[in-house]
């Protein structure tokens, strides 16, 4: 008698527990906080937290290093299943699509949570030292017209910062899903940690310097995640395209992982 397949809800729940109920998750979130804290020390003479957050984004490699950290809790999950001969057991318990979707959900949410929680811990720590926005803040004045969320400054500085944290977390989480998918093809498990970093570098730096048609240039969409979007209606279009790009990366990651899962079985 064939074994009854588990539901997608149960499969996703099991993978979420595997991703979040582990010492690696809080460790990674703390690593993100420490990363921001160390990079922000260059701006110790800052007048407010807004200045520190914006400059730590724009004048450091924080986002690149976050991609390495976000892969730590879960991006090696497929490699671990393969190394411990669990793939066939998983195939008996759930379909290939259930396996893939559950993996993508857990990877995306864990990567997102690691970055979002870590950045907010840093944000709260800085609020104990400095005001959110100083009187006559130069940061609020200089950045109020520089991206689509600039109109929120200075009155809604918390919303401005949280929206950028949200976008940063989305970018890193989507690339973490791609790292999970590619880890199915790269047998060296710990190489998975640097895959998001390398992917982002190739997409942003290599494509950015290549002679490609403007309509194929996706590098401008990545700038949205780093607080460098356009303003007005053009900024809104750029934001929508950036969100769609993040979705496409996750979708392609799922297709890659599903294809490899079927091949391994």
DSSP string covering 37-80: HHHHGGGTT-SSHHHHHHHHHHTSSHHHHHHHHHTTTTTTHHHH
Count of C-beta atoms within a 10 Å radius of residue 10: 14
**Contacts (Cβ under 8 Å, ≥6 apart) of 8:** 94, 98, 101, 102
Where in the chain are the domains?
Answer: 8-264
CB 47 within 8 A of CB 134: yes
C-alpha of 67 from chain center: 7
DSSP string covering 13-44: HHHHHHHHSSTHHHHHHHHHHHHHHHHHGGGT
The least confident of 7-21, 50-64, 196-210 is 196-210
Instruction: Tell me the pLDDT tens digit for each residue of 134-190.
Output: 988 888 888 887 788 888 889 999 999 999 999 999 999 999 999 999 888 887 777
User: Coil, strand, or helix at residue 94?
Assistant: coil
pTM for this model (two decimals): 0.90
**Can you tell me which residue has the tokens 């990079």?**
39
């Amino acid at each position: 008698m064939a074994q009854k397949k588990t539901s997608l809800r149960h499969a996703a729940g099991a993978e979420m527990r595997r991703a979040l109920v582990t010492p690696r998750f809080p460790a990674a979130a703390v690593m993100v906080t420490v990363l921001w804290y160390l990079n922000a020390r260059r701006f110790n003479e800052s007048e407010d937290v807004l200045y520190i957050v914006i400059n730590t984004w724009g004048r450091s490699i924080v986002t690149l290093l976050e991609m390495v950290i976000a892969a730590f809790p879960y991006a090696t999950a497929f490699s671990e299943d393969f190394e411990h001969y669990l793939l066939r057991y998983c195939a008996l318990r759930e379909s290939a699509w259930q396996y893939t979707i559950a993996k993508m959900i857990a990877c995306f949410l864990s990567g997102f949570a690691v970055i979002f929680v870590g950045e907010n811990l840093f944000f709260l720590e800085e609020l104990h030292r400095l005001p959110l926005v100083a009187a006559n803040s130069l940061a609020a004045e200089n950045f109020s017209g520089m991206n689509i969320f600039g109109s929120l400054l200075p009155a809604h500085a918390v919303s401005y910062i949280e929206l950028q944290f949200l976008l940063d977390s989305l970018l890193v989480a989507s690339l973490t899903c791609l790292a999970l998918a590619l880890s199915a093809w790269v047998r060296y498990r710990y190489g998975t940690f640097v895959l998001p970093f390398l992917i982002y570098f190739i997409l942003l730096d290599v494509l950015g310097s290549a002679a490609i048609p403007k309509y194929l240039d996706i590098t401008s969409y990545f700038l949205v995640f780093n607080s460098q979007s356009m303003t007005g209606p053009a900024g809104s279009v750029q934001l929508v395209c950036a969100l769609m790009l993040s979705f496409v990366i996750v979708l392609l990651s799922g297709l890659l992982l599903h294809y490899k899962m079927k091949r391994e079985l």
